[in-house]
Structure 1
Amino acid sequence: MELREVMAALRSSWWLPVAGLVVGALTALAVSLLQTPQYTSQTQLFVSTTDSTSTSDVFQGSQFSQQRVTSYAQLLTGEELARRVIDRLGLDLTPGELSSAVTATAVTDTVLINITVTDPSAQRAQQVGDALGSEFTTFAAELEATDANGISPVKVTVTDTADLPTVPSSPLTTRNVALGGLVGLLVGAALAIARVRLDRTVKDAEEATELAGAPVIGVVLKDDMLATRHVIERNSTAPIAESYRQLRTNLQFLHVDEPPKVIMISSAVPSEGKTTVAVNLALSLAEAGRRVVLVEGDLRRPRVTRYLGMVGGVGLTNILASTAELDDVLQPYGDGDLRVLASGPTPPNPSELLASSHMFKVIDDLRGTNDFVLIDAPPLLPVADASGLAVLVDGVVLSIRYGSTRKEQLQQTKATLDRVGARTLGIILNIVPPKAEISSAYGYGYNYGYDTAPQPTAPVGQPTTKL
């Protein structure tokens, strides 16, 4: 995963690292507050020999003492010494409990032993530390006694008496909160990256181009009003209107030497906004002075006439069944150059009708009298209707819903079109959140110089709703 992709993942899911930071810090704070404060008292012992009358004796005694301190460190944490301290102080503890609170460390290459005692009570930690020093001097002398008089060649001296701790040694709340926040931040960042890596939906323009084998020719922004009304108002200055104007411009410059006139607009699966794209693209082309026919080619679930508020009783299926003429069923929309061919009655065999020679003749007739013929076709994967129709048109434009269409679906759609020899003109990333990062080619300009205040509404189907 490249650094650019990592940064994009963190920007798109920034709330996960932030949430991890907050949760980690609060969890660490809660754990710290629930812990019982512990106090640590320290003392130090010095081990020496008693028979050192010459320089060589001193050297040998020093070596002897260094050998002893490691063993003494073990004895200091043993239960026998703990039992003696308990009896001395009258503690309500078992030898095992007390010895577990004691740590003894032999300082390397010295004859010093550092002792630490940890206890919930600062006073008891100090008392135990002092008692350990006192008791161990006697204990060591008993162990090292070499004659009947109890004389020991080793002497243990307390060099630093136990101190009274004033600040708890644990928990370290500030450190714990900082570490908890850092761990939470890292976990949140990892989740954000994993979320992108595991996301199989199409969100990147370059990746969509690679999967579909066709360029991204437009990005249509998400708009709540458009999701309800489906038709952009005429002369709108909203970003969504600019999306369709840019799409119109890109479409007109596709294949300059052999510009497509009859274009099928489809998608991989339902609910990807293809009909809304077809309707508003047709309105945008008509606004630019182009003579446009919009064909309601989705015979199973026609939506064009309903979105435009027009009559859908007769149309394409009547022409294909030879019960009506083309000029009789074409309906003008508004005062521009847009005409609509409704789907007509739902037939029992839509796939055969759309791939028939009669459909080819209808397309040919419309081609000769219009600048653009846009056909709102069914989705390509669920049914075979659009596959047969795709070979009769000049090219196919696919509507891909941002964050919804899966990569596998787009690949299957490409394979379906390739299998019948259809030509994919381009893809439209549809219903894209305004803050989504698509690519540098489509990431600028949508909010430049426009007032994004709500526009006045008008009833669907009125001529004034034209783009």
Structure 2
Amino acid sequence: MDLQGVLAALRSGWWLLVIGMLFGGAAGLGGSLLQTPVYVSSTQFFVSTTGSASTSEAYQGSQFSQERVTSYVRLLTGDELAGRVVDRLNLDMGPEELVQRMSATAASNTVLIDVSISDPSPEQAQRVATVLGQEFPQLVSELETPDGGGSSPVKVTVTERPEAPATPVAPRPRRNAALGVAIGLLVGIGLAVTRVRLDRTVKALDEAASLVGAPVIGTVVRDAHLEKRHIADRRGNRRTAEDYRQLRTNLQFLNVDAPPRVIMVSSALPSEGKTTVVVNLALALADVGQRVTLVDADLRRPQVTSYLGLVGGVGLTNVLAGTADIDDVKQTYGEGLSVVAAGPTPPNPGELLASSNMARLVEKLRGTGDFVIMDAPPLLPVADAIGLAPALDGVLLSVRFGCTRRDQLQQAAAALSRVGATTLGVILNMLPPQDELAAAYGYGYGYERSAAGNPGTREGAVPQRFFRRVRSSRRRHGQPRRLSATGQDS
């Protein structure tokens, strides 16, 4: 992943960074508050020799003291001295535990030894350091005294008296909180990058085009109004309405010499927005004076009439079964848009869509208007759309941003290619409003919610008496009469 990819991952996963810093800072601060405070009291020893009568003897004594200092550091942190201190102060700990609380260091080329005692009680830390200053010189004197008697050649002097510390040296809440924030930030960056690297969904225009082998001819931004009502507010100032206008324009100029007129819209899997795309694309084409026939060819889960508020009692399956004519089941919606419902659910939807009757119907619809838009079933779960696609001018694939996986999209495109169908392009929908991809087909200015916020009116909604008319007509004539979406005889 290059730098640009890492930056994009951090932008999309910024919340991981924030959560990481919050949790890291809270963990550092909480850990500090839960820790027992530790106080440190220090003392210092000066090691010298006795009986130096001349300068040379003093120099030799200094060298002797420096050599002894290293041994004394180990002696200070030994069990013997710790046991004496424990016995004298009657501490409720053993020599081994006291040794763990002691620290002794000797500066290089000096005869000074610094000793630190840590303890949860500042008073006890001072007492231990004070007794240590008394016991250590006595222990050195005992060890350095010759066997035959006499005085010790080494003298240990306390040069720095221990004091009771006022503030603890640990924990340090501010430092630990800052360290926790830094660690949390690094963890958040790692999670954000890993999240993108492990993400197998389609989120890039060039990636979608490469997987399908066809261009991305439109993008649709996620809109709560569209998700609820499924019809873009074409009279308002919403971004989604402009997205579908842009899709309409791109579709009309895909092939200037032989533009596609009978188009199927499908997707790899369900719930990827194909029916919403079909409905709004048909409405966008009708808005510019095109005569559009919208056919609900998803015979398993038809939704077109539900989105438009029309009646789905009879439709495509009746025509393919020979019990009705296409003109008898058409419903009108607004100006220039005719809708053919799916009709009753058949036992063999795949065979119906791949039949010769369907091929003849496609040619008939081609001559009745400018565009025929078909909502087809998803490509991967069932083979219905695969049998229908070769009879049409081309297929548009609806891809849901951050949901459709790359392998699924690639399999759908390969399935169309195997039967010789033409994939016209990809529609990437449900993009986050602020995502960079959402601006890829924009004009550089934003679209905001209209002041009124009213949804588009459901033009040509069919009353429920349409059902009664259809049933009565079928009983009298064995086929439905030709009715418009307003419920009147045409």
Asked whether 1:160 is paired with 2:169, we answer no
What is residue 388 of structure 2 aligned with on the other side?
Answer: 389
Deviations 1:131-163 (A, max 9, x none): 212211111111011143342222222222223
Structure 1 residues 58, 340: CA separation in 2 closer, same or farther (over 3 Å shift)? same
Mapped partners of 2:339, 2:57: distance in 1: 115
Alpha-carbon shift at residue 286 of structure 1 (Å)? 0.4
Alpha-carbon shift at residue 373 of structure 1 (Å)? 1.1
Deviations 1:192-219 (A, max 9, x none): 2222222222222222222222222111
Deviations 1:5-60 (A, max 9, x none): 22222222222211221222122212211222111111111222224444443443
Greater CA drift, 202-211 or 229-238: 229-238
What is residue 400 of structure 1 aligned with on the other side?
Answer: 399
What is residue 275 of structure 2 aligned with on the other side?
Answer: 275
What is residue 380 of structure 1 aligned with on the other side?
Answer: 379
What is residue 354 of structure 1 aligned with on the other side?
Answer: 353
What is the root-mean-square deviation in Å for CA atoms of aligned residues? 2.2
User: For the Cα contact (< 8 Å) 2:221–2:438, is it kept in 1?
Assistant: no
Deviations 1:272-312 (A, max 9, x none): 11111101110110001111111111112221122222233
For 1:3, give the aligned amino acid.
L
Structure 1 residues 443, 108: CA separation in 2 closer, same or farther (over 3 Å shift)? farther
Deviations 1:376-413 (A, max 9, x none): 11100011111111111111101111222122211111
User: Tell me, what secondary structure is at the counterpart of 1:391?
Assistant: helix
Asked whether 1:92 is paired with 2:121, we answer no
Structure 1 residues 460, 369: CA separation in 2 closer, same or farther (over 3 Å shift)? closer
What is residue 454 of structure 2 aligned with on the other side?
Answer: 456
Structure 1 residues 306, 65: CA separation in 2 closer, same or farther (over 3 Å shift)? same
User: For the Cα contact (< 8 Å) 2:432–2:438, is it kept in 1?
Assistant: no
Deviations 1:47-84 (A, max 9, x none): 22224444443443333222221211111111211222
Structure 1 residues 317, 91: CA separation in 2 closer, same or farther (over 3 Å shift)? closer
Alpha-carbon shift at residue 442 of structure 1 (Å)? 3.6
Matches within 5 A, 1:325-344: 325-334=325-334, 336-344=335-343
What is residue 369 of structure 1 aligned with on the other side?
Answer: 368
What is residue 217 of structure 2 aligned with on the other side?
Answer: 217
What is residue 311 of structure 1 aligned with on the other side?
Answer: 311
For 2:356, give the aligned amino acid.
S
For 2:351, give the aligned amino acid.
E
Matches within 5 A, 1:2-151: 2-151=2-151
What is residue 239 of structure 1 aligned with on the other side?
Answer: 239
Structure 1 residues 441, 224: CA separation in 2 closer, same or farther (over 3 Å shift)? closer
For 2:362, give the aligned amino acid.
I
Q: How many residues align?
A: 462
User: For the Cα contact (< 8 Å) 1:52–1:58, is it kept in 2?
Assistant: yes
What is residue 447 of structure 1 aligned with on the other side?
Answer: 446
What is residue 289 of structure 2 aligned with on the other side?
Answer: 289
Structure 1 residues 234, 92: CA separation in 2 closer, same or farther (over 3 Å shift)? closer
Matches within 5 A, 1:246-257: 246-257=246-257
User: For the Cα contact (< 8 Å) 1:231–1:276, is it kept in 2?
Assistant: yes
Mapped partners of 2:211, 2:332: distance in 1: 38
Gapped runs of 5+ residues in structure 1?
A: none
Gapped runs of 5+ residues in structure 2?
A: 463-490
User: For the Cα contact (< 8 Å) 1:396–1:424, is it kept in 2?
Assistant: yes
For 2:144, give the aligned amino acid.
E
Deviations 1:226-278 (A, max 9, x none): 22322234423222212211111111121223321111100001111111110
Structure 1 residues 63, 37: CA separation in 2 closer, same or farther (over 3 Å shift)? same
Mapped partners of 1:12, 1:51: distance in 2: 78
What is residue 425 of structure 1 aligned with on the other side?
Answer: 424
What is residue 170 of structure 1 aligned with on the other side?
Answer: 170
Structure 1 residues 17, 122: CA separation in 2 closer, same or farther (over 3 Å shift)? same
Alpha-carbon shift at residue 461 of structure 1 (Å)? 5.2
Mapped partners of 1:232, 1:176: distance in 2: 52
Alpha-carbon shift at residue 446 of structure 1 (Å)? 6.3
Greater CA drift, 425-434 or 45-54: 45-54
Identical counterparts, % of pairs: 60
User: For the Cα contact (< 8 Å) 1:380–1:386, is it kept in 2?
Assistant: yes
For 1:83, give the aligned amino acid.
G
Mapped partners of 1:454, 1:153: distance in 2: 100
What is residue 183 of structure 2 aligned with on the other side?
Answer: 183
For 1:198, give the aligned amino acid.
L
Structure 1 residues 259, 95: CA separation in 2 closer, same or farther (over 3 Å shift)? same
Alpha-carbon shift at residue 444 of structure 1 (Å)? 5.7
User: Tell me, what secondary structure is at the counterpart of 1:398?
Assistant: strand
For 1:74, give the aligned amino acid.
R
Deviations 1:404-435 (A, max 9, x none): 21222111111111211221111111222313
Alpha-carbon shift at residue 323 of structure 1 (Å)? 3.1
TM-score computed with the length of structure 1 as normaliser: 0.92
What is residue 438 of structure 1 aligned with on the other side?
Answer: 437
User: For the Cα contact (< 8 Å) 2:40–2:125, is it kept in 1?
Assistant: yes
Alpha-carbon shift at residue 454 of structure 1 (Å)? 5.0
Mapped partners of 1:323, 1:374: distance in 2: 23
Mapped partners of 1:314, 1:446: distance in 2: 44
Alpha-carbon shift at residue 355 of structure 1 (Å)? 1.7
Greater CA drift, 15-24 or 375-384: 15-24
User: For the Cα contact (< 8 Å) 1:25–1:178, is it kept in 2?
Assistant: yes
Mapped partners of 1:444, 1:162: distance in 2: 75
Alpha-carbon shift at residue 463 of structure 1 (Å)? 6.5
User: For the Cα contact (< 8 Å) 1:231–1:460, is it kept in 2?
Assistant: no
Structure 1 residues 341, 462: CA separation in 2 closer, same or farther (over 3 Å shift)? closer
What is residue 258 of structure 2 aligned with on the other side?
Answer: 258
User: For the Cα contact (< 8 Å) 1:204–1:439, is it kept in 2?
Assistant: no
